[in-house]
Structure 1
Amino acid sequence: MHPLKFVPILKPRLWGGTKLGEVLGKSVQADGIGESWELSGVAGDVSVVANGDHKGTSLTTLIEKFPKELLGSSVVERFGHEFPILIKFIDAKLDLSIQLHPHDDLAKERHNSFGKTEMWYIMDADPGAELIVGFNRDVTREEYAQSLENDTLLELLNYEPVSEGDTFFINTGKVHAIGAGVLLAEIQQTSDITYRIFDFNRRDKDGNLRELHTELALDALDYKKKDDFKVNYPKEKDNVNDMVSCPYFKTNFLHLSSDLEQDTSNRDSFTIYMCVDGEAVIANDSGSVSIARGETVLMPANSEQISIRTKASKLLEVTV
């Protein structure tokens, strides 16, 4: 099976801007597009192949026809025919709501869904841009609830300045928000379960306050201050650098100035490449595809060899 590119699913958001079109070259027809879902098996938002023999075919149909060839035997054993990863680019013109995601057991019990562990790679950040990640001290459940009543939640939160290349791992239960002026790549479990706990009292286009999930969040929050979110990873050129490894995905950082050949015959997983800078041509025995900043390619699990031809690129390589 040849390398697969998919049609981006563009999502308007209250906080979205113009960078997905202006910086990443997406075919954006309006302002306020906050997310580009690059690779999704989420019901109602399933990605469709954009190139080659399978053009026009949905990801779920491909998995039904070629489960082990596309996903890998070990992935099928763990996740069945569910595609376990959701890949996005996010442009925050305004602050996102302050939120968290439930862990697997709670998400299964309440929503019949996976939880949502995720990571962020900062592609671009305006001067002074920040993220909210975690609390700035240990907080009790009662203190947290009181801060919502008193409108003082912001005083309890940890703010992180960001610049290009910074990487953050957001485990379930951790309060977080992407700040205004941040463009990032996101890798996450296949889930769209979010508990919104504060939205700066903003109103939507119809003048309504957006729904908050105050009660649901109480049992899902991690109230401890933890400095476990900033990822320190090697950036050695022309090498495969370990970045994030968790039960749901493994991500490597590739900063390439020359071609790279990889023997992937024993990988037993699909491989995703997100181009966060530059451009490259990625190939297996069945074909090749070009990829540039803001684009994503899925390499099927039955790719025996993967070659990357480039003079200058930065790629996130994702496997399960």
Structure 2
Amino acid sequence: MSKVNQFLKFTPILKEKIWGGEKLRTHLNKATNSSNIGESWELSDVEGDTSIVANGNLKGKDLKELLSTYKSSLVGEKVYNQFGEKFPLLIKFIDAKEALSIQLHPHDDLAQKRHNSFGKTEMWYVMQADENANLIVGFKKDSTQKEYLKHLENKSLLDILNVDVVSKGDVYFIPTGRVHAIGAGVLLAEIQQTSDITYRVYDWDRQDSAGNYRELHTDLALDAIDYKAKEQYNTNYESEENKASEIVSCPYFTTNIFPINGTVNVNNSSKDSFVIYMCVSGKTVFNYNKISTSLEAGETLLVPAGLKEFSINSTNGLSELLEVYIK
């Protein structure tokens, strides 16, 4: 089987959203003049939005072609055996100029039954947040379907939902069923299963430019919601310079925080998986076989499973990466 012997960067797929802003351009240098870009899909195998290689010998090839050609050499034997020629993760940067809808995602079984899709477990890493910007995550205390419906009808959901003011570096794991919303003023990295299934339950009664309200999914959401509360929703973690430290691990993905200062030699021989690097601050250069590939804040890199040893250099002081793979 032929191998991919290069780091892969992809052309971002930019999504205009009613709640989007300009930070993807002003903070992360995305090529757009639009004032309402909400999402940059960095790596996607969602139908109709397949990522296309932007660099090297494979420039112009899309992710589906790569999977069909390189198979386990690209994604790892275990991953290929489990997912076949479907890339299992969707990687995004999100800019919320206004609050997103209050929403949740169905679990695998429900998503398969209703939508022939994966579920949508995800996580967030806050890259920047305006003063007092917040995230809505989960319930304040255990709730019930009856109580939830009463507050939904009265437009008082915030009375029973947990709201956290956030800042750079905060991490949230969002399993399926957990009600959530990104608040206004938050820029974050999102790692999730390959799925675009969202149950929108409240959208702040806002209308689009044509005066239309966005569709709500009240009935679909009822038996998909997890009404249990947690004492704490953000993830505590520690980070160490020049070391990859785990911040989230679940059956769908593992994410490490990887602060780089100087040069680090990486050996991923223990991973039977592709590895994704998202640069969340600073600038780095990846080196392999005398080929150098830069990765700046707001950029994403896919390292094929067959490429195990390389070095990363932070070119100007401390840089931070998120390292993502499947165990």
TM superposition score normalised by structure 1: 0.98
Tell me what 1:275 maps to.
279
Counterpart code for 1:114: F
Tell me what 2:109 maps to.
105
Distance 2:265 2:200 in 1: 43
1:204, distance to aligned residue in structure 2 (A): 1.0
Distance 2:290 2:151 in 1: 57
Distance 2:289 2:79 in 1: 22
Task: Judge conservation of contact 1:284–1:304 (CA < 8 Å) in 2.
Answer: no
Counterpart code for 1:283: N
User: 1:56-112 deviations in whole A, cap 9, x for unaligned?
Assistant: 000110110001111110100111111001000000000000000000000000000
Query: Is there any run of 5+ residues in structure 1 with no aligned partner, and where?
Result: none
Distance 2:313 2:142 in 1: 48
Task: Judge conservation of contact 1:2–1:286 (CA < 8 Å) in 2.
Answer: no
Tell me what 2:83 maps to.
79
User: 1:185-213 deviations in whole A, cap 9, x for unaligned?
Assistant: 00000000000000000011110111000
Distance 1:255 1:152 in 2: 41
Task: Judge conservation of contact 1:68–1:76 (CA < 8 Å) in 2.
Answer: yes
Distance 2:270 2:69 in 1: 22
Counterpart code for 2:18: L
User: Matched residue of 1:21: which SS?
Assistant: helix
2:199 is aligned with 1:192 = no
Task: Judge conservation of contact 1:85–1:189 (CA < 8 Å) in 2.
Answer: yes
2:236 is aligned with 1:232 = yes
1:228, distance to aligned residue in structure 2 (A): 5.3
Pick aligned residue for 2:225 from 185, 209, 221: 221
User: Matched residue of 1:149: which SS?
Assistant: helix
Distance 1:92 1:38 in 2: 17
1:19, distance to aligned residue in structure 2 (A): 0.3
Tell me what 2:306 maps to.
302
Tell me what 2:294 maps to.
290
TM superposition score normalised by structure 2: 0.96
2:299 is aligned with 1:319 = no
1:242, distance to aligned residue in structure 2 (A): 1.0
2:34 is aligned with 1:34 = no
| Aligned residue runs from structure 1 range 59-208, under 5 A | 59-208=63-212
Task: Judge conservation of contact 2:266–2:311 (CA < 8 Å) in 1.
Answer: yes
Counterpart code for 1:303: L
Task: Judge conservation of contact 1:196–1:212 (CA < 8 Å) in 2.
Answer: yes
Q: In percent, how many aligned pairs have the same letter? A: 56
Task: Judge conservation of contact 1:280–1:312 (CA < 8 Å) in 2.
Answer: no
1:229, distance to aligned residue in structure 2 (A): 2.9
User: Matched residue of 2:219: which SS?
Assistant: helix
User: 1:288-310 deviations in whole A, cap 9, x for unaligned?
Assistant: 31000000000000012021111
1:286, distance to aligned residue in structure 2 (A): 7.5
2:43 is aligned with 1:44 = no
Distance 2:21 2:179 in 1: 23
2:247 is aligned with 1:243 = yes
For these two proteins, the number of residue pairs brought into alignment is 320
